[in-house]
Every structure is written in structure tokens, then in C-alpha cells.
């Protein structure tokens, strides 16, 4: 499935299976980031719970956070979008909504408000869940709104971001942009504004 839309008008320029449902993997984090930006001050402090840190698939993308670690919302958003850190997605969800389950409710409400009809979001990260799916069309609606947000744009266009230290870690955490269409690679696309990649097994 795939889609190209005009971001100004919403006109579909190209589409393939645009209403077929698929597992979105980490592009889910576009919606997560948007909700966090809309509901938080970037200087708020996020504390990582044991549930946030360990409720992830083994071997999935992470930032090696520990229970009790504290970061600003800003630092977390860069970890979410550049590192695709799943425990960070969990911690942000808990920070915004009190639990990942309540955050999923917010995700579905937001998606519905944008006109999404093919989606059901079950977690903030996009980790595998049979009840977590969307379509190319719905993701285009979500991304279209995200790209109008200046804070979101600054997130996805940063090549490198350094978290100096946490309350539990003295060593800096360097986050490097992984979007191959945006950075210098064989897939570089001139005019790309950044974004989010994702894959499933």
C-alpha cells in the first residue's frame, strides 16, 4: 500500500491499496509525537516507569532507559523520532494520559477527528499487535496534520541530537537521524522534509 497526497489540499495524487489495512510499525510514532506536542510543554519532565521500560519486544529499538530515568519531553521526542525508541514511546504515553491504554484511546479519537476510518491504534510505539493497524490513506491524513506543526518539523529535520545526561546516566546519548531519504544515502530524495520510517518482522 502506498499514497502520495498534496499536503495543502489533501488531493490524492497517487494511490495503491490506500484503504487496505496494514501494521504500521514505527510510523505510528508520527501520531504519538503529534499528540505529545499538542498536550505537553517541551520542558516537562518524563519519569520512566518499570512498565514503560520493560513492556517492549526483545531486541526492538530502544534508548537503554532504566526505571526511574528522567528526561524532558523535548529529549524524549527526539529519542522517539530519531532513535525510534519504544520505551520512550511508552513513557511519553504514560506521561500524557496516565497509561498506554488511555493514550491509545486518545490516538483513536485524534485519528477519527481527522477522518481516519481504516485504523485502530493499540499502543504508542507500533510494536506488533493484531489490533494495531492503519491504512496508507489514514497515515497520510495524520502526517498531513503533523507536517503543519512547527515543533514536529524541527524534530524530524534534526540530523543529530545529543541528550547531555540523565539523572541516572553521566554519559551523553547521541541520537542520529535514520531516515535514508532525508540523510545522505543511496535513497536521498532532494526536497524530503524528513519523516519516520518503520518495519515489522
Q: State the catalytic residue, choosing from 29, 49, 61, 119.
A: 29
> For the packed helices 28-39 and 136-146, what is the interaxial angle rounded to 10 degrees?
30
Distance of CA 160 to the CA centre of its chain: 17
Going by their DSSP bridges, the two strands 160-163 and 173-176 should be labelled as antiparallel
Q: What is the pTM of this model?
A: 0.96
Distance CA 136, CA 27 (A): 11
Distance CA 130, CA 95 (A): 25
What per-residue confidence (pLDDT) applies to 165? 86
For the question of residue 29 being annotated catalytic, the response is yes
Phi and psi angles of residue 109, each rounded to the nearest 5 degrees, phi first:
-65, -40
Question: Buried b vs exposed e over 76-90: b needs ≥16 C-beta within 10 Å?
Answer: bbbbbbbbbbbbbbb
What per-residue confidence (pLDDT) applies to 201? 73
Tens of pLDDT, residues 2-22: 999 999 999 999 999 999 999
Q: Which residues of the chain have pLDDT under 70?
A: none
Q: State the catalytic residue, choosing from 60, 61, 72, 84.
A: 84
What per-residue confidence (pLDDT) applies to 79? 97
Amino acid at each position: 500500500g502506498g499514497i502520495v497526497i498534496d499536503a495543502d489540499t489533501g488531493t490524492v495524487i497517487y494511490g495503491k491499496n490506500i484503504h487496505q489495512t496494514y501494521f504500521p510499525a514505527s510510523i505510528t510514532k508520527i501520531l504519538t509525537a503529534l499528540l505529545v506536542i499538542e498536550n505537553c510543554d517541551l520542558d516537562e519532565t518524563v519519569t520512566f516507569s518499570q512498565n514503560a521500560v520493560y513492556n517492549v519486544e526483545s531486541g526492538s529499538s530502544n534508548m537503554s532507559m532504566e526505571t526511574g530515568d528522567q528526561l524532558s519531553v523535548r529529549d524524549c521526542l527526539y529519542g522517539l523520532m530519531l532513535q525510534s525508541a519504544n520505551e520512550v514511546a511508552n513513557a511519553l504515553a504514560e506521561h500524557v494520559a496516565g497509561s498506554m491504554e488511555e493514550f491509545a484511546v486518545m490516538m483513536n479519537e485524534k485519528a477519527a477527528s481527522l477522518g481516519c476510518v481504516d485504523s485502530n491504534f493499540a499502543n504508542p510505539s507500533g510494536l506488533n499487535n493484531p489490533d494495531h493497524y492503519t491504512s496508507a490513506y489514514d497515515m497520510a491524513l495524520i502526517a498531513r496534520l503533523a507536517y503543519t506543526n512547527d515543533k514536529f518539523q524541527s524534530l524530524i529535520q534534526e540530523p543529530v541530537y545529543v541528550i547531555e545526561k540523565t539523572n541516572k546516566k553521566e554519559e551523553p546519548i547521541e541520537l542520529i537521524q535514520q531516515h535514508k531519504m532525508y540523510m545522505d544515502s543511496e535513497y536521498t530524495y532532494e526536497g524530503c522534509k524528513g519523516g519516520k520510517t518503520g518495519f515489522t518482522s
